[in-house]
Structure 1
């Protein structure tokens, strides 16, 4: 299943990918929506059929899991062969 991440929630005043604690998403195929915390979304993306993106059409950017040397894994967009920060620019909820 692939989902489009539409909104994020930060865990404090710092707005970085690693400080996002919740994700709101929609399944473009069936319209189902939901919210998941960071560990759940990391597990979803690392699962066999999990995939996520930000945007649609020509602005669609895939989301991947970053595993830093220290700290918890987090999500980040990956465009044109490099990690980008599209998630931080999404609306908050």
Structure 2
């Protein structure tokens, strides 16, 4: 069964292509330590059923992170549609 993890930060590239924007995602474990995964590892973990990810939107609501594909078939992460017009994932702070 997949374990669910909140994404608290991301690292972005300077590229504008949606599948190249996020380089890594990160969060905090239950024990207070920090975790960080490359985009490729996060996508692989979702596809293998190992992990699910979510972010909390500006209203404190949980929004699931899903895998999407560009027209050319490149995979990237995005949030499911929610009640905001904001980009829940790309607006997260940079991971240290």
If the length of structure 2 is used for normalisation, what is the TM-score? 0.74
Deviations 1:24-67 (A, max 9, x none): 1234x555531111100111111224210001784210000002
Whether contact under 8 Å (1:4, 1:53) holds in the other structure is yes
Counterpart in 1 of 2:48? 47
Deviations 1:69-91 (A, max 9, x none): 215201000034xxx72101111
Q: Structure 2 unaligned runs (5+)?
A: none
Give secondary structure in 2 for the equivalent of 1:40: helix
2:88 to 66, 86, 89: 86
If the length of structure 1 is used for normalisation, what is the TM-score? 0.76
Runs of 4+ aligned residues of structure 1 deviating over 6 Å after TM superposition are none
Give the count of matched residue pairs: 89
Q: Structure 1 unaligned runs (5+)?
A: none
**1:17–1:68 CA distance, 2 compared to 1 (3 A):** closer
Distance 1:11 1:75 in 2: 14
Distance 1:48 1:32 in 2: 23
Distance 1:48 1:13 in 2: 29
Bigger helix fraction = 1
Counterpart in 1 of 2:5? 3
Distance 2:63 2:26 in 1: 16
